[in-house]
Structure 1
Amino acid sequence: MKFSILIANYNNGKYFKDCYNSIISQNYDDWEAIIVDDNSTDDSVSVIKDLIKNDLRFSFFKMDQNKGCGAAKRKCAELATGEILAFLDPDDAITPDALQVTVDEYLKHKNIIATYSKIMFCDKDLHPKYSDEKIKQVYNYSKFFNCPIQINHFFSFKKEVYDKTEGINPKLSSAVDQDLYLKLLDHGNPKFIPTNLYLYRRHPSGISQDKSKNKSKDNFAKVILDTMKRRKISEINGKKIPDSFTDSKEIFSLLDYQNSIPYRIQKNLTLFIQQLFNL
């Protein structure tokens, strides 16, 4: 089962060596790494090319102009030839057993379309600090929007399922992963791996840690609205879905019911039954 590791890079040359070392240290051998550089302005291209030279498992592609995270990640997926795909940010790393553990889940559970694991948050030098214990197995149904976020890295998915979707939205500059997750979940269920497989580096220049929080919030809200429309949902809990996006608060307010105790009890009970009968 060939595994494609997808890396969309922009100005992360100084961090890439840790990412590279984590890939070549994998105890699973059938993999390729697709690297798409989004026309970086730092020394990324020279750093990456120097590290991967003469290793045919790595493929490198440079965008002719800076087009943003969505476009770069979409290009990664287009170039991938593996059966299983997973994104790895160039400033992060994966554990040596990440690919093997992930592949084992697909072999064990034939019907799943994706997997995701626990995540270890690290400092700027990639030293582990704490694990995100809030990530659990999700109850996937038509009104699941991963809000609050439960599905996270290390997220992998079947290429054959990705090809059934519209693909990654090239216009998005943030909430790209959330858009991908929800599109894939239209076609089946994911499997949670209760192990830390992903090392997430916290540093001031990280793409997901930038200062444009409002834009990121708006993009996530737009992704949720698009998902509602794609799934032909006209109302949620008695509230009508807006025809177009005007304000992120309007979208997120539609999901307030998820915080209620009755909803949580029903969700957990349904999830327990699903897991009990391996549905």
Structure 2
Amino acid sequence: MNELVSIITPTFNAEKFIRATIESVLNQSYQNWEMILVDDASTDKTIAIIKEFTIKDNRIKLTELLKNSGNGFARNMALEKAIGKYIAYLDADDIWLPQKLEKQIKFLKDNNLPFTFSFYDCIDEEGNSLNRRVEAPLELTYHQLFFCNHVGNLTAIYDIDFFGKIVIEATQKRQDWRLWLTILKQIEVTKPVPEILALYRIRKDSISSSKFKLIKHNFGVYRDFHGFNFVFSVLLMTRFLFTQLIIKSRYIKKI
């Protein structure tokens, strides 16, 4: 149980959060990892902060893009550089709890799974609890995922030996949901670790904080990624919104 985990972290102007994010990786009980950070031409102190860590720990690796190319491009470049058996995702403002990797890898092996994720709690920009916990079905099928993204990006991990490196077109929005759909289309069903293993930071300027942007990008998954025509995509989006209101709300708990 000591295979290398490659942690994919794109960064852009994350000086306020990146230190806590990296420290949450350093504090992992499972220590065989590499953290691949690709900075998307930040204009703040993000790069300087990351370099403080790269000097002290060669498992933390930084690539600097010369021009801003988008989060998807940075994520794909990090994936290209990954050499681990497992790929895990951690955005530059989120935090892992100390036993996140250890528990997930054990769960993968115990359940003979090539992909899993976990529950997570939500925090604000200052790191304060929002008293909101996001859970998921204990068996997640492709059909369920098709109408609701139950997988938090900061909690997902998959086995390269099973899937290979899965690259989603960099220009597409909701790259994470498209990735999980690609995975579950192959294996049909998976299970989450039924524990809180990470903290998701909700920022005022994030896509998840803007309902209009979120609806627009989710519609794009049906229209562009799946290739459905406009009318059918509208119908699917209607079902998606119904699922969010009725089904997913059951998995969002007040704590």
Calculate the TM-score normalised by the size of structure 1.
0.77
* Cα deviations by residue, 1:165-186 (Å, 9 ceiling, x for unpaired): 4x122012x3121111111112
The residue correspondences of 1:134-149 to structure 2 (distance < 5 A) are 134-141=135-142, 143-149=143-149
Q: CA deviation at 1:46?
A: 0.9
Q: CA deviation at 1:226?
A: 4.7
Q: C-alpha distance in 1, partners of 2:71/2:107? A: 29
Secondary structure at 1:33's aligned position in 2? strand
Q: Which of the pair is proportionally richer in helix?
A: 2
Q: CA deviation at 1:133?
A: 4.5
Moved over 6 A (4+): 256-259
The equivalent residue for 1:171 is 171
Q: Is 2:121 the partner of 1:123? A: no
Shift in alpha-carbon separation, 1:225–1:185, aligned structure 2, 3 A: farther
Q: C-alpha distance in 1, partners of 2:129/2:235? A: 37
Q: Is 2:54 the partner of 1:52? A: yes
CA contact (8 A) 1:36 1:76 kept: yes
Shift in alpha-carbon separation, 1:17–1:223, aligned structure 2, 3 A: same
Shift in alpha-carbon separation, 1:144–1:114, aligned structure 2, 3 A: same
Q: C-alpha distance in 2, partners of 1:247/1:195? A: 36
The equivalent residue for 1:249 is 234
Q: C-alpha distance in 1, partners of 2:24/2:243? A: 38
Q: What stretches of structure 1 of length at least 5 have no aligned partner? A: 230-240, 265-279
Q: C-alpha distance in 2, partners of 1:164/1:84? A: 10
Q: CA deviation at 1:190?
A: 2.5
CA contact (8 A) 1:169 1:179 kept: no
Indicate the larger mover: 196-205 or 53-62: 196-205
> How many aligned positions are there?
242
2:238 aligned partner, one-letter code = S
CA contact (8 A) 1:116 1:193 kept: yes
CA contact (8 A) 1:37 1:62 kept: yes
Shift in alpha-carbon separation, 1:223–1:68, aligned structure 2, 3 A: same
The equivalent residue for 2:22 is 20
Secondary structure at 1:151's aligned position in 2? coil
Q: CA deviation at 1:156?
A: 0.9
CA contact (8 A) 1:91 1:201 kept: yes
The equivalent residue for 2:155 is 154
Q: CA deviation at 1:249?
A: 3.2
Q: C-alpha distance in 1, partners of 2:43/2:242? A: 45
CA contact (8 A) 2:79 2:165 kept: no
2:237 aligned partner, one-letter code = F
| Pair member with larger Rg | 1
Q: CA deviation at 1:70?
A: 1.1
Q: C-alpha distance in 2, partners of 1:28/1:77? A: 20
Shift in alpha-carbon separation, 1:257–1:197, aligned structure 2, 3 A: closer
Taking every aligned residue pair, what percent have the same amino acid on both sides? 24
Q: CA deviation at 1:85?
A: 0.9
Q: CA deviation at 1:248?
A: 5.9
* Cα deviations by residue, 1:99-152 (Å, 9 ceiling, x for unpaired): 100110121122x221111111112222333242442224424x4444233222
Q: C-alpha distance in 2, partners of 1:205/1:221? A: 20
Q: What stretches of structure 2 of length at least 5 have no aligned partner? A: 248-255
Calculate the TM-score normalised by the size of structure 2.
0.84
The equivalent position to 2:214 in structure 1, one of 203, 209, 216, is 216
The equivalent residue for 1:232 is none
Q: CA deviation at 1:192?
A: 0.7
1:214 aligned partner, one-letter code = F
The equivalent residue for 2:186 is 187
Shift in alpha-carbon separation, 1:134–1:50, aligned structure 2, 3 A: closer
Q: C-alpha distance in 1, partners of 2:220/2:4? A: 34
1:132 aligned partner, one-letter code = R
CA contact (8 A) 1:131 1:196 kept: no
Shift in alpha-carbon separation, 1:54–1:159, aligned structure 2, 3 A: same
Secondary structure at 1:186's aligned position in 2? helix
Shift in alpha-carbon separation, 1:145–1:221, aligned structure 2, 3 A: farther
